[in-house]
């Protein structure tokens, strides 16, 4: 059974883990670094160091809509996406979290968006959504070295220009023996959040985490999901006769095909599924100091 922990306990644990994003010194209550003067701010229980500007989040027209929906619907947004999206993902994030004693082990979800998997997990994001505990640049975390037992990063690294810098930060903030869970798309159309930079094959993802001990790399979103999302975009393109406005209006109508994703409950297990899988999960451990 999941234990509920009052939010102040989470804030206390986060405060103990905070460190200057520049010089790594522990941060006092004032959130101002005694070494280099970098400072953060507080908005209720939320701590902010850096993050996306509203302008960045609104550059892409579709992302602008997504941002409005995230702010309006909060935790209902990821629920709606899991129902409407063409991607069928197994619930393996939760089983990864169950492998920790979250009353003792500090775990952070880097790029949480409006999702909170467990009241004891620290939500970190570039956007200041209501559930986010720490608003920060994920490649420059305001956390001390080795303070985390676990890290999750779900469909985040395609949206950053420098994934290696983000992975190096995961390494730095994890304690030796600490584990990470990362989902990264492969066959997926362009989708800005606030932008979109890359995809990885199974071996490509594994290579990015070569400094870690890789525990498992597997299909996280199956081949039907990969096909459906591309097909939905293709149909909207083909039926909009060169009009971007019509294309945008048609995309949501194509979500009617999304329930076919259930085929991935079987197809994702095919040994050749990685050829057109929608995405991969990697679980890895930090070894050494």
CB of 142 or CB of 221, closer to Zn ion: 142
CB of 22 or CB of 145, closer to Zn ion: 22
CB of 34 or CB of 161, closer to Zn ion: 34
CB of 40 or CB of 127, closer to Zn ion: 40
Nearest by Cα to 14 from 148, 146, 137, 140: 148
Smallest gap from Cβ 39 to Zn ion, in A, equals 9
CB of 20 or CB of 167, closer to Zn ion: 20
Smallest gap from Cβ 40 to Zn ion, in A, equals 11
CA distance linking residue 104 with residue 88, whole number of Å: 32
CA-based R_g, the chain, Å: 19
> Which residues of this protein are in contact with Zn ion, per CB under 5 A?
20, 22-23, 33, 35-36, 38
Smallest gap from Cβ 123 to Zn ion, in A, equals 24
Nearest by Cα to 222 from 90, 109, 91, 126: 90
Smallest gap from Cβ 142 to Zn ion, in A, equals 10
Cα dihedral 90, 65, 132, 192, rounded to 10, equals 60
DSSP codes, 220-247: EE-HHHHHHHHHHHHHHHHTTTT-HHHH
Tally of CB atoms within 10 A around 96: 18
CA distance linking residue 233 with residue 85, whole number of Å: 12
Smallest gap from Cβ 33 to Zn ion, in A, equals 3
């Amino acid at each position: 059974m999941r234990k509920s922990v009052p939010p102040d306990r989470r804030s206390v644990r986060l405060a103990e883990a905070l460190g200057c994003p520049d010089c790594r010194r522990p941060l006092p209550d004032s959130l101002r670094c005694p070494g280099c003067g970098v400072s953060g701010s507080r908005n209720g229980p939320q701590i902010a160091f850096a993050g996306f500007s509203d302008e960045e989040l609104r550059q892409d027209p579709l992302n602008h809509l997504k941002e409005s929906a995230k702010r309006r619907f909060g935790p209902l947004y990821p629920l709606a996406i899991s129902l409407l999206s063409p991607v069928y993902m197994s619930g393996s994030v939760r089983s990864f979290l169950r492998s920790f004693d979250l009353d003792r082990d500090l775990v952070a979800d880097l790029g949480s968006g409006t999702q909170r998997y467990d009241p004891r997990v620290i939500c970190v994001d570039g956007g200041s959504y209501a559930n986010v505990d720490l608003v920060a640049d994920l490649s420059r975390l305001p956390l001390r070295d080795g303070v985390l037992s676990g890290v999750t990063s779900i469909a985040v690294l395609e949206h950053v220009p420098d994934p290696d810098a983000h992975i190096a930060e995961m390494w730095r903030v994890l304690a030796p023996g600490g584990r990470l869970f990362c989902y990264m798309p492969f066959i997926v159309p362009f989708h800005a959040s606030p932008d979109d930079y890359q995809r990885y094959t199974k071996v490509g993802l594994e290579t990015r985490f070569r400094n870690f001990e890789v525990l498992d790399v597997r299909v996280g979103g199956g081949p039907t999901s990969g096909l459906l999302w591309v097909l939905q975009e293709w149909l909207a393109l083909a039926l909009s006769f060169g009009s971007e406005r019509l294309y945008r209006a048609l995309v949501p109508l194509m979500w009617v095909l999304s329930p076919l994703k259930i085929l991935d409950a079987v197809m994702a297990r095919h040994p050749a599924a990685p050829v057109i899988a929608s995405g991969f999960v990697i679980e890895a451990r930090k070894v050494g100091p």
